[in-house]
Amino acid sequence: MAEAGLQQRIALVLEYDGTGFSGWQRQDHAPSVQEELERALSRIADHPVAVVCAGRTDAGVHAAAQVVHVDTTASRPLHAWVLGTNSQLPETVSVRTAHAVEADFHARYGARRRGYRYVFLCRRARPALLRHRVAWTHHPLDAGRMHRAAQALVGEHDFSAFRAVACQAPHAVREGFRIDVHRHGDLLFIDIEANAFVHHMVRNIAGTLMAVGAGEQAESWPAELLAAGDRTRSGVTAPAAGLYLTRVVYPSHHGLPDGGHWPFLA
């Protein structure tokens, strides 16, 4: 526990259901995860706080292991930052763990890699229970074809072909560490890790791989798109409901967990 009146930096790992939010980032006239978290933390700290996250998620996107940091002069045991904050949050947002970190820890700039999971439900009937948790397709997607096609995206590349038109990043060069595609029953999973992502990158890759898995495009198509660098030639942007931020990795000396529990067991 820090001495009262001295500023300390706390890192929090949280999960949230993004269905009812306009995304992570605070907005003037729409609900956001950031707004809810800052409101709750300010009550526990008894002073206004601002949080910085590892990766801003879009409207409808979920997180199993979002990481944020907050600076505070309040003296609270770590479990109070978890239990107290959760008591002030809506049921769709939960702080899982709290960690005292050094002043130079930065949730965004200190992250070495980030992981996302994209989930397709492949069956003829539309979902009811999972309607806000998966992307539904009636096509029986071929996970093997998708996995083989996705390997062209591993490594350092210019991902302009999978970048949203509205992306504000200065460039689209990113390093993809792995992309794995597998299925479990009617659920198909795309797990992707990179040092960082451009706007809509995972959803655009998922939409492209969906076309390959459905047999509409050849396994060589993602590699061809990557080389061309033309977003207008790529697949559709897959729905937000299927996307989860699942892992943020930092240097080990910070002592943070490097992943969340999977939203689905497989």
Classify domain 8-110 by CATH architecture: 2-Layer Sandwich (3.30)
For 236-252, what is each residue's pLDDT tens digit?
999 999 999 999 999 99
pLDDT for the residue 165: 77
pLDDT for the residue 171: 86
pLDDT for the residue 258: 78
Q: Over 80: is that where the pLDDT of 167 sits?
A: no
How far apart, in whole angstroms, are the C-alpha atoms of residue 31 and residue 204?
Answer: 25
How far apart, in whole angstroms, are the C-alpha atoms of residue 215 and residue 243?
Answer: 22
**Cβ-based neighbour number of residue 58 at 10 Å:** 17
pLDDT for the residue 192: 97
8-110 and 113-246: same fold? yes
Q: What pTM value is reported for the model?
A: 0.94
Which residues sit opposite 85 in a β-bridge? Answer: none
Asked whether the CA dihedral 215, 220, 223, 226 is positive or negative, the reply is negative
For 51-71, what is each residue's pLDDT tens digit?
999 999 999 999 999 999 999
Which residues sit opposite 206 in a β-bridge? Answer: none
And the tokens for 56?
């801003």
More confident residue, 156 or 266: 156
3-state DSSP: the chain helix, strand, coil percent, rounded to 5?
25, 30, 45
pLDDT for the residue 91: 97
Which positions are catalytic? 58
Q: Does domain 113-246 have CATH number 3.40.50.1370?
A: no
pLDDT for the residue 63: 96
For 1-36, what is each residue's pLDDT tens digit?
555 568 999 999 999 999 999 999 998 889 999 999
Helix (H, G, I), strand (E, B) or coil at 32: coil
And the tokens for 254?
């910070």
How far apart, in whole angstroms, are the C-alpha atoms of residue 25 and residue 181?
Answer: 29
Q: Over 60: is that where the pLDDT of 227 sits?
A: yes
Residue ranges per structural domain of the chain: 8-110, 113-246
Residue 19 CA, chain-centre distance (Å), reads: 14
User: In this prediction, what percent of the chain has a pLDDT beyond 90?
Assistant: 83
With beta carbons less than 8 A apart as the criterion, state whether 111 and 250 touch.
Answer: yes
And the tokens for 80?
């109070």
Select from 254, 193, 230 the least CA-distant residue to 69: 254
pLDDT for the residue 172: 85
pLDDT for the residue 212: 97
Eight-state DSSP code of residue 132: T
Helix (H, G, I), strand (E, B) or coil at 94: strand
Query: What angle is formed at CA 55 by the lines to CA 242 and CA 157, rounded to 5 degrees?
Result: 85
pLDDT for the residue 89: 98
Give phi and psi for 145, each to the nearest 5.
-60, -45
For 100-142, what is each residue's pLDDT tens digit?
999 999 999 999 999 999 999 999 999 999 999 999 999 999 9
pLDDT for the residue 257: 84
With beta carbons less than 8 A apart as the criterion, state whether 247 and 114 touch.
Answer: yes
b/e string for 227-247 if b means 16 or more Cβ within 10 A?
A: eebebeebbebbbbbbbbbbb
Mean pLDDT over the full length of the chain: 93
Q: Over 80: is that where the pLDDT of 99 sits?
A: yes
